[in-house]
Chain A
């Protein structure tokens, strides 16, 4: 069960690019989801207005997060919910473990929750001898495979039907089949028993409404309704940024999230839970616990650029739109959250030094910003993190590679900010390039040149490089263009 690390993103990416099965799966994801989202968005009259409104709601909430959080807790507790505060993942796992032990449960059913992935809850439960059963089909598949999710919404997207069928043959004992309905039916059959037996159900939360203390959880499969409806104890792990101020605000987010995430107008089920049942004979759990998770989120509030990370509603649209994610998939990022949003929150959650490559794993094309339902400016965030990293290497010019880059940029700064040096540089490179230019272009650089000028080696591995023009614009301007100006 070795999972990839963010620190080796470059190598992870290279490995991923060599995987033809992954390539096919990602191609299909891109074709499918991009189109679905486009169609769903066009079914809304004023999509832009909706995004603006959602972002405004999030901004207001985050700017007064303490107030709204307290209001949420007050209202949730009034309904009989027990609220726990967890400063970090370790503390959160401890709280959940205590509750599970308190319920004398040896097995728990879990619905899909990125927050529980973030705190590595399953590992913590297993270490304590408790068996967590993932019930979302995609999550169950990767649990069987001993893998981590590679996408926020479709966790097993990297696996083909055939691979999944083989997995079921091995782990579940059915015959190999190519019928998706049979595979799904198998999951249903096996997991139903677990729902019935489990004493504890653990879920995440999509939105927590401050005004009423309501938590809303949405899904398509029905496993969340099972997880939160059948066992006697329901534990919900909720990032503190999930708060929205008013019940009516749900309208905006329910219009944005399903469309952005899966191209649906609404997912099959939304469960709005406000307090515990009022009579002992009523359906539903006897106890509901909400574990509020900080784990670095409160720190992100400290800068307007990083604060927008907390607006994320985990729709996954940015992943689907990202040309980099489309090439390498989720595992390459080596983090719980992959793709564009992953590239910006992972360094903030686990520390920049452990995820230094991620902010650079982007061409800054902005496709993510375009599709984000809450208008998070991810490129702005990436640039912010890059500046932090560059400042860091200025302060600690440790690693050789970064030192070289820093020197190169200092030089560029010094030379190119002086017109005479700039012109000299152009002329000099025009002279020196004669060594490597053939037919007006620079072909694949040999090993020596690649060592001396690594970027040239990297570029010419796939592309020719153009030669410096025989006459620069300046020379042309001085030549005749200037005098030809009629004015």
Chain B
């Protein structure tokens, strides 16, 4: 992601103090812990005068947008949350909607397809942006995945609390991927890639999983 951003003349800094946005805690109901993470995130990034905070994860970005919900009794923290949220962008959205770039000079090979990660799609409205970016990767053929916008079945702790259901949902996704006859499946969320890739690997599939940042950075 850093390489791609620099390629399009965007300066990047990384604050090593950052750890986690706290989404796993929030999603499992542990709001006290989630609040801790949120405050830390907000404090660290408030110190930066960068124009934008960019994340390679739709679900983390969505979490940041929801920080305000962790402070129902604290107006000050709510306002700080909203200010940080306003500066935070998901990677594809940042490229296309903020930098107004949909061709990052990437090149690769093979048939590729895109899986819409749920938070990115439904919380952040990302649908066209990743497709536009992918269609401009020279040397690749983009195909639309059937039911691309249906969940992969990860859902955080859901995947281990109800692993059989998660696997059932995942199988539908794998079926669609096999039908699409692609060389790689691309997505914007590593959790989806872990879920899908984990199964592809287990069944010995040749299909690769790639994060969109990876393929956009590629210049093979």
B91 to chain A, nearest CB (A): 14
Verify A481–B164 contact, CB threshold 8 A: no
Q: Looking across the interface, which residue of chain B has its beta carbon closest to that of A369?
A: B122
Known A-B contacts A323-B151, A462-B170; the reply to A419 vs B159 at CB < 8 A is no
Verify B28–A386 contact, CB threshold 8 A: yes
Verify A327–B29 contact, CB threshold 8 A: no
Mask of A441-476 contacts with B, CB within 8 angstroms, 1/0: 101000000000011001101111110000001100
**A-side contacts of B170, CB under 8 Å:** 462-463
Is there a chain A Cβ closer than 8 Å to B157's Cβ?
A: yes
Is there a chain A Cβ closer than 8 Å to B52's Cβ?
A: no
**B-side contacts of A14, CB under 8 Å:** 164
Is there a chain B Cβ closer than 8 Å to A282's Cβ?
A: no
B52 to chain A, nearest CB (A): 14
Mask of B137-174 contacts with A, CB within 8 angstroms, 1/0: 00000000000001101111111111111111110100
Verify A464–B17 contact, CB threshold 8 A: no
Verify A390–B31 contact, CB threshold 8 A: yes
**A-side contacts of B14, CB under 8 Å:** 473-474, 477, 481-482
B interface secondary structure, majority: helix
**How far does the alpha carbon of A422 sit from the alpha carbon of B153 in the complex, in Å?**
27
**How far does the alpha carbon of A88 sit from the alpha carbon of B84 in the complex, in Å?**
46
**How far does the alpha carbon of A269 sit from the alpha carbon of B118 in the complex, in Å?**
38
Is there a chain A Cβ closer than 8 Å to B194's Cβ?
A: yes
Is there a chain B Cβ closer than 8 Å to A266's Cβ?
A: no
**How far does the alpha carbon of A96 sit from the alpha carbon of B165 in the complex, in Å?**
40
Verify A390–B30 contact, CB threshold 8 A: yes
In this complex, how many residues of chain A approach chain B with their Cβ under 8 Å: the count is: 61
Is there a chain A Cβ closer than 8 Å to B6's Cβ?
A: yes
Is there a chain B Cβ closer than 8 Å to A127's Cβ?
A: no
**How far does the alpha carbon of A360 sit from the alpha carbon of B30 in the complex, in Å?**
13
B22 to chain A, nearest CB (A): 8
Verify A466–B198 contact, CB threshold 8 A: yes
**How far does the alpha carbon of A462 sit from the alpha carbon of B157 in the complex, in Å?**
15
Partner of B37, one of A361, A417, A419: A417
Q: Which of B14-56 contact A (CB under 8 A)?
A: 14, 16-20, 24-33, 36-37, 40
Verify A362–B158 contact, CB threshold 8 A: yes
**B-side contacts of A399, CB under 8 Å:** none
**A-side contacts of B11, CB under 8 Å:** 485-487
Q: Looking across the interface, which residue of chain A has its beta carbon closest to that of B161?
A: A360
Verify B122–A413 contact, CB threshold 8 A: no
Partner of B154, one of A363, A367, A405: A363
Verify B17–A419 contact, CB threshold 8 A: yes
Q: Which of B157-203 contact A (CB under 8 A)?
A: 157-170, 172, 194-195, 197-199, 201-202
**A-side contacts of B159, CB under 8 Å:** 363, 458-459
Q: Which of B102-153 contact A (CB under 8 A)?
A: 118-119, 122-123, 150-151, 153
Verify A484–B6 contact, CB threshold 8 A: yes
**How far does the alpha carbon of A458 sit from the alpha carbon of B165 in the complex, in Å?**
11
Verify B6–A360 contact, CB threshold 8 A: no
**A-side contacts of B202, CB under 8 Å:** 443, 462-464
Q: Looking across the interface, which residue of chain B has its beta carbon closest to that of A443?
A: B202
A111 to chain B, nearest CB (A): 33
Verify A459–B198 contact, CB threshold 8 A: yes
**B-side contacts of A416, CB under 8 Å:** 19-20, 37
**How far does the alpha carbon of A366 sit from the alpha carbon of B161 in the complex, in Å?**
19
Is there a chain A Cβ closer than 8 Å to B12's Cβ?
A: yes
Is there a chain B Cβ closer than 8 Å to A171's Cβ?
A: no
**How far does the alpha carbon of A256 sit from the alpha carbon of B165 in the complex, in Å?**
31
In this complex, how many residues of chain B approach chain A with their Cβ under 8 Å: the count is: 56
Verify B160–A458 contact, CB threshold 8 A: yes
**B-side contacts of A478, CB under 8 Å:** 16
A93 to chain B, nearest CB (A): 34
Verify B27–A17 contact, CB threshold 8 A: no
Known A-B contacts A363-B154, A390-B29, A464-B198; the reply to A17 vs B16 at CB < 8 A is no
Known A-B contacts A360-B162, A361-B165; the reply to A485 vs B19 at CB < 8 A is no
Verify A323–B169 contact, CB threshold 8 A: yes
**B-side contacts of A366, CB under 8 Å:** 118-119, 122-123
**How far does the alpha carbon of A393 sit from the alpha carbon of B16 in the complex, in Å?**
34
B205 to chain A, nearest CB (A): 11
Is there a chain B Cβ closer than 8 Å to A247's Cβ?
A: no
**How far does the alpha carbon of A360 sit from the alpha carbon of B202 in the complex, in Å?**
26
**B-side contacts of A327, CB under 8 Å:** 165, 168-169
Known A-B contacts A324-B165, A366-B123, A422-B19; the reply to A464 vs B153 at CB < 8 A is no
B201 to chain A, nearest CB (A): 4
Mask of A6-31 contacts with B, CB within 8 angstroms, 1/0: 00001001100100000000000000
**A-side contacts of B195, CB under 8 Å:** 463
Known A-B contacts A323-B169, A390-B28, A390-B31; the reply to A461 vs B163 at CB < 8 A is yes
Verify B153–A367 contact, CB threshold 8 A: no
**How far does the alpha carbon of A327 sit from the alpha carbon of B160 in the complex, in Å?**
16
Is there a chain B Cβ closer than 8 Å to A364's Cβ?
A: yes
Known A-B contacts A362-B155, A365-B151, A466-B194; the reply to A481 vs B2 at CB < 8 A is yes
Partner of A405, one of B16, B28, B166: B28
Q: Looking across the interface, which residue of chain B has its beta carbon closest to that of A328?
A: B165
Verify B163–A361 contact, CB threshold 8 A: no
Q: What are the nearest 8 A-B pairs in CB distance?
A: A363-B155, A463-B198, A487-B11, A386-B29, A390-B29, A413-B33, A365-B151, A366-B122
Give me 8 other A-B pairs in contact (C-beta within 8 A), A327-B165, A406-B30, A462-B202 excluded.
Answer: A10-B162, A323-B172, A364-B156, A386-B29, A417-B20, A417-B37, A419-B16, A458-B163
Pairs A–B under 8 Å by Cβ, sample size 29: A324-B165, A327-B168, A327-B169, A360-B162, A363-B159, A364-B118, A365-B151, A367-B122, A369-B122, A387-B30, A390-B28, A391-B29, A394-B32, A413-B25, A413-B30, A416-B19, A417-B36, A417-B37, A419-B18, A455-B157, A455-B160, A459-B160, A462-B166, A463-B199, A463-B201, A465-B198, A474-B14, A478-B16, A485-B6
- Which positions in B face A, CB cutoff 8 Å? 2, 6, 11-14, 16-20, 24-33, 36-37, 40, 118-119, 122-123, 150-151, 153-170, 172, 194-195, 197-199, 201-202
